[in-house]
């Protein structure tokens, strides 16, 4: 049975194109740390249980600063991704062994402020998640 397409909306007549979509993610490259921000609220403005450190970086392929809140580390021959949660010890210092400690050790810095204007490589979180992490290995 042949259909009359005259009365169909244009959307019903559209075909799938052959142009591959452009990737909306940035390629892993060296970035410069410009600032450190503490995130205390989720995107829906609800309070987070623990603050998260956002490392604001200048990526060579983007005019605006990007926020990176995860690092990728190598430990015992395995690669791990850690979020930069603000976890403090009883002296109100960053918890030893936490992600922020791992980042500071890798960068050979005493505090996050010492990381300003430093360069660091980025890497994709994993094959399924192309979001950038700071490469700390």
Q: pTM score, two decimals?
A: 0.80
Of the candidates 58, 62, 54, the residue with the CA atom closest to the CA atom of residue 120? 58
Give the per-residue pLDDT at 133: 97
Render pLDDT for 101-130 as a digit per residue (tens, 0 to 9).
999 999 999 999 999 999 999 999 998 888
Q: Is residue 106 within 8 Å of 82, Cβ to Cβ?
A: no
Render pLDDT for 45-87 as a digit per residue (tens, 0 to 9).
999 999 999 999 999 999 999 999 999 999 999 999 999 999 9
Give the per-residue pLDDT at 17: 86
């Amino acid at each position: 049975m042949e259909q009359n397409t005259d009365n169909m909306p244009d959307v019903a007549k559209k075909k799938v194109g052959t142009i591959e979509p452009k990737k909306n993610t940035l390629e892993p490259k060296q970035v410069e740390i410009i600032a450190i921000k503490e995130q205390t609220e989720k995107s829906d403005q609800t309070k987070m249980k623990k603050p998260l450190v956002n490392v604001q970086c200048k990526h060579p392929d983007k005019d605006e600063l990007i926020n990176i809140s995860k690092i990728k580390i190598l430990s015992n021959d395995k690669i791990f991704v850690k979020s930069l949660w603000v976890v403090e010890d009883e002296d109100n210092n960053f918890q030893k062994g936490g992600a922020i400690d791992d980042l500071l050790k890798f960068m050979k810095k005493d505090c996050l402020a010492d990381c300003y204007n430093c360069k660091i490589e980025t890497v994709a979180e994993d094959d399924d998640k192309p979001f950038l992490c700071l490469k700390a290995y």
